[in-house]
Amino acid sequence: MAVGDLEHASKRAETLARPETEPDNRPLAIEARGLVKSFDGTRAVDGVDLNVPEGAIYGVLGPNGAGKTTTLRMLLGIIDPDEGVRRVFGNDRPHDLSRLIGYLPEERGLYPAMKAVEAIAFMGALRGLTLAEGRKRGLELLERHDLGYAADRQIRQLSKGMAQTVQLLGTLVHQPRLVVLDEPFSGLDAINQGKLERMIRALSEEGVTVIFSTHVIHHAERLCEGVAIIAGGRVPYAGSVETARDRIPAQVRLETSARDGGWTAALPQDARREGNFFYFSLPETGVEPLLKSLIEGEAGILSLSIERAGLHDAFVAIAGEAAARQLEADAQSS
């Protein structure tokens, strides 16, 4: 292993071992404390706490039936919590801020006979735009997303992915500061999922806060700065994706030319050997002291790699095996 490679590995290890300490001083777009909601005597949501900074992409991750939709509806003021408080841009009456919010519900619905541009204008009118302004903006949005040719087509003439894009554009036509999407990737093929991911990133780059629910981990891992893991109506974790992943120690894969020697005593206790490879958790002290011992002991380092846990592994550790299995089953069936 070259000296440059060792320096790179050392710096990477220090980054992975360092806890997240810098506070996020951005104002909050969404704040929730102790949200509780019951239906017919059953608690669908049981004490949810959330902080979503302005401009963030934030995911609510959990299996179907975990309480994601109920949580989003309480945050928006569509339904009121039985207990707890929620604030949107500091206001505890979020339904008063409807013109600042775009909401795409899980249950999709457009008038089949309505033209695409008219559907967007109609949704804009529900948020205070004139129909004329809605048509103008709607046409601009359709053109920007390569659907200008479909502006005068009826919704029934569009593919499922195109119709969902039209509804999403209707959610955005009034230029909201907060966009809430309930299972937005459900039913979309890979191409349209990719388009939606790019739209979400573009919104965040413009300073718009985006919060979406999903049961597909890789969407949350690729897009989100923060995530709330929800299972059984509870949120056992809410915070940054990085901090969630750091709950599981990074794993080291070490290859040596020497098979034995005094240097093996420097390896962590959880080290396991497979041929000339050793696998173990990254020590809390980082990799530098270990590298020093290996070099001085003439272990003959051939390769060393450090891999962080993924969000899936973090979800299993936080929410449990049963919730993770249900999450995987939901993703496969969607």
What does the pLDDT look like over 251-289, one tens digit per residue? Answer: 899 999 988 888 999 999 899 999 889 999 888 888 888
Residue 22 lies in a domain: no
CA distances from 211 to 168, 257, 260 (A): 14, 50, 52
**Within this chain, do residues 161 and 136 fall inside the same structural domain, yes or no?**
yes
> For residue 19, is it within any domain?
no
- Residues 214 and 264 occupy one common structural domain: no
How many domains does one find in the chain? 2
- The answer to whether residue 13 is domain-embedded is no
Mean per-residue pLDDT for 61-90? 94
Domain boundary among 202, 230, 245: 245
Both 238 and 273 in a single domain? Answer: no
Q: Give me the pLDDT at residue 12, please.
A: 41
> Do both 47 and 196 map to the same domain?
yes
Say if residue 299 is in the same domain as residue 233: no
* pLDDT reported for residue 19: 36
Domain CATH for 140 = 3.40.50.300
In a domain, 331, yes or no: no
pLDDT in tens, 171-204: 999 999 999 999 999 888 888 889 999 999 999 9
Q: 62 and 201 share a domain? A: yes
> Domain residues for 94?
28-245
Strands 178-182 and 272-274: unpaired
Average pLDDT estimate for 318-323: 87
In a domain, 274, yes or no: yes
Taking residues 104-123, report their average pLDDT.
Answer: 92
Give pLDDT, residue 259: 84
- Is residue 322 a part of any domain in this protein? no
pTM of the model: 0.81
Determine the average pLDDT of the residues in 119-147.
95
**Do 223 and 271 belong to one domain?**
no
The answer to whether residues 85 and 46 belong to one domain is yes
Does residue 134 carry a pLDDT above 70? yes
Question: CB of 46 within 8 A of CB of 233?
Answer: yes
Query: Out of 22-26, 68-72, 257-261, 308-312, which region has the weakest mean confidence (pLDDT)?
Result: 22-26
CB-based burial, 267-302: b 16+ in 10 Å, e otherwise: beeeeeeeeeebebebbeebbbebbebbeebebbbe
Q: Do 174 and 240 have their domain in common?
A: yes
Residue 20 counted as domain residue? no
- What's the pLDDT score for residue 9? 43
Does residue 334 belong to any structural domain of this protein? no
